[in-house]
Structures are given as structure tokens and as C-alpha cells.
Amino acid sequence: MCFAELGHDVFFVDVDPAKVDAIGSGISPIYEPGLDELLAKNRMRISATADTHQAIQDTEITFVCAGTPSNSDGSIDLTYMQSACRDIGHVLKQKDEKHIVVIKSTVLSGTTEGVVRRILEEESGKIAHIDFGLASNPEFLREGSALLDFFSPDRIVIGVADEISHQVLERLYSSFECPKVVTTIPVAEMIKYVSNAFLATKISFANEIGNICKQTGVDTAEVFWGVGLDHRINPAFFQSGIGFGGSCFPKDVRALISQAESVGVEPKLLKNVVGVNEKQPLKLVDLLQSHVPDLNKRRIGLLGLAFKPNTDDIRESRAIPIVERLLKEGANVIAYDPLAMNNFRKLYPQIEYASSAEDALDADAILITTEWEEFEELDYSGKIVIDGRGIEKARGGTVYEGVCW
């Protein structure tokens, strides 16, 4: 949609007819602030189809945005990528004009020039970088602020190995003034993983230091404010709490660990980044039990189910291990989230869902798991509140404890 906003004609292709129909009727199949407005504004520039043939014949560039989830051993599952590339290769065989295939999906370094290239060449009978362009252009958008991130990027990374792809991608992004890193395809792919792995490391570091500060009575937020002012360090992504979730950090760190092991490198630091992250949400329940030792049949209010605010996405949400543990302890959970309750209900139909945040406060104790703005408006007086995300107003609870403060 952002490319359409820049004035380009965009075809959306998906194998899921429900998504194609939704986009075709002007409805975004995912929740993202500002996206519906952008869709409405640019209806004339977009079309949605399940027909890869038409979408490739009538365009210059194909961005592959298929999901790359984790296998159970942490390695990346390329099934969707491979299937999309087979379809694309099949059409490239019949297309006379030069076409460029750009991998936007998050794939491990070596994937584009390896499996992706092999499938495209096999299916098309053509040669990459000669008969068709092949490039990598990873994305750095955050859910919940994706449009802002697209239009104000810190940098644009373009991995290329042929001049046509280079020129077309430079032209596509010519209106952006940020630095453009034009590099090889394997470097571009690696930049994406290292960015996410570093940010995840920063969060686990903040949480480990936060755990120390909690025990020594030192104010964690002030510590990181002071630390972040060093320009070599930077204050962003130092918010300690119950750890990182979402569809990217946990999966990407695991995939990098799996790649490291496959090339004989022991990724000690990355393994501990995951280790700290897995323990952190359970600390919230430990703290709760220091105030309410026996949770059996106690009513526990849970504020926040999404992995972060401004999204309905619950993938790897830190609320999941917390609910698991509460249920194991026999607690009755009443949960509230402004957007994510429908998604969470599919996973946990057995818990109660409140119709408002106020209703979730009607409990023996409250856990805060996502920092939604509306949680700053609640009256916490008379409540036991255990805060995993740093909601200032919650300090008004009769009992208040933060996970790292």
C-alpha cells in the first residue's frame, strides 16, 4: 500500500481467496494503524488477484513477501517461499520482457542465491542476473507503526548482483533521503537478521540488568536513561519488562542460532538472549505469588494479550506463557485487550474475556502484560497490581510491583 501511495500501480497476489477478496473490496486483511485509510485513498492504483500470471506479465518488479515461520527445531520453514517462487518461475518462462524478483521475506543469508535462485531458474529455464533480475530488499517495519517506518526509514538496504535490479530499486526508492546501503545479496539478508538479533539482545540485556536492579533497589528506568545518553549506545529498545514477543524477534534469533550451529559456530550469546526471554514472563507470576501464594481458584485480571500495543497480533505474546502458568496453578483468568481478544480466544477458549479494561480490574490481583495507552487511564486504587510493562498510573495500586522495578 505504501508503494501505491508513492504513485505506483500495485497488484496484490495471494493463494488465500479470502485475502484477495478483502483487498479487492477495500478491506485490509490485517490490522495496522492507517492502513485502511491508505487503501481507501489508493483504490484506483491497486488490484488483488490469485492469478500470478497476470500480476507478473503486467508489472516490472515482483516482491516476494511470503512468511518464513520456524520449524519445530528453530530452523526456518521455506515452504511458502518455495511455492511462491515456483509460481513466479513458471510465469517468467512465458514473459518476454525483463522482470525483477525481489525477496522481501526474511530469509537467512545465502537463501536468495541458493534455493530461491535454483527454483526460479529451474521453473523458468532462464538464468538469474542475465535473463531476469534477482535482488534482496529486507524490510525493517514494526507492526503497529509500519506506515510511519516505511515513510521515515533509518536506511534502505538493497542487495543486488545485477545492474538492472540495482537501477530499478534505486529508482523505486529515489524519493527517500535516508542512507541507502547497496550491497551484495547475502550481506543484505544478514543485515536483516543481525538488526533483529541485536535489538532482541538489547532487550534481554535490559531485562537481565533490570532483574539485578530490582533486587538491589536501584531504579532501572533511570539507569537506562543514563546509559542511553551515550551516543554509542542509544536509548531505544532498553525498556525492561516481560520480554519480546511477536512474529519476528523470537523466530529470527532462533533461525540465526540454527544457522550458526549448521556452520559449526556455538552461538552462546544468542542462546542466552532466548533463555532470558523465556524466563522473564514467568517472573511476573513469581512476583504475584509473593503476594498471593496460592492461586488456586483466585481471580486474576490480565491486562493485555497482544505482543505489543497497536496490534491484534498474539504470535509469541508474553501473555501466552503467563496464562499457561496461571492455568496450571488453578487460577481463574479474566483477560482484556482492546484488539487481540478474538485471536486469543481461539487459543484459550477456557478463560474469561472482559468487555472492558475496568471489568478485568474486578479480580483478586491484576497483571499488566501489554502497555496499551488506555491502561494509563484506569483507577488501580485498592488493587494488587503486578506490572510487566511500566504503566505509570498502576503505581496507584494498593500493592504495586514492577517486574524489573
Active-site residue list: 248
Residue corresponding to grid cell 530461491: 116
End-to-end CA distance of the chain: 41
Of residues 295 through 314, those in contact with ligand UGA by CB under 6 A are: 307-308
- When binding is defined by CB under 6 A, the residue of 185, 248, 314, 331 that contacts ligand UGA is 248
Shortest distance, CB of residue 15 to ligand UGA, whole angstroms? 21
Nearer to ligand UGA, 248 or 333 (CB): 248
Among 237, 261, 345, 400, binds ligand UGA (CB under 6 A): 237
Evaluate whether 225 touches 218 at the Cβ level (below 8 Å).
no
| Site mask for ligand UGA (CB under 6 A), range 61-100, x = bound | ----------------------------------------
Question: Minimum distance from CB of 249 to ligand UGA (Å)?
Answer: 5
Strand order in the sheet with 299-303: 352-353, 332-336, 299-303, 365-368, 384-387, 399-402
Closer to ligand UGA by Cβ: residue 238 or 336 = 238
Contacts of 382 (CB under 8 A, 6+ apart): 397, 398
Is 210 near ligand UGA (CB under 6 A)? no
Choose the stretch contacting ligand UGA; rule: CB under 6 A; options: 154-162, 195-203, 260-268, 289-297: 195-203
Closest by Cα among 324, 367, 360 to 341: 360
The interface region with ligand UGA, picked from 31-39, 112-120, 238-246, 260-268 by CB under 6 A, is 238-246
- Binding of residue 254 to ligand UGA (CB under 6 A): no
Alpha-carbon gap, residue 372 to 316, rounded angstroms:
17
Burial track 202-233 (b if 16+ CB lie within 10 A, e otherwise): bbbbbbbbbbebbeeeeebbebbeeeeeeeee
Q: How many chain residues are in contact with ligand UGA, going by CB under 6 A?
A: 21
Sheet containing 180-183: give its strands across.
61-64, 100-103, 133-136, 156-160, 180-183
| Residue reference for cell 523470537 | 250
Which range of residues in 80-88, 137-145, 153-161, 162-170 is near ligand UGA by CB under 6 A?
Answer: 137-145
Q: CB of 141 within 8 A of CB of 156? A: no
The answer to whether 244 contacts ligand UGA (rule: CB under 6 A) is yes
Q: Enumerate binding residues for ligand UGA (CB under 6 A).
A: 106, 139-143, 196, 199, 203, 237-239, 241, 243-246, 248-249, 307-308
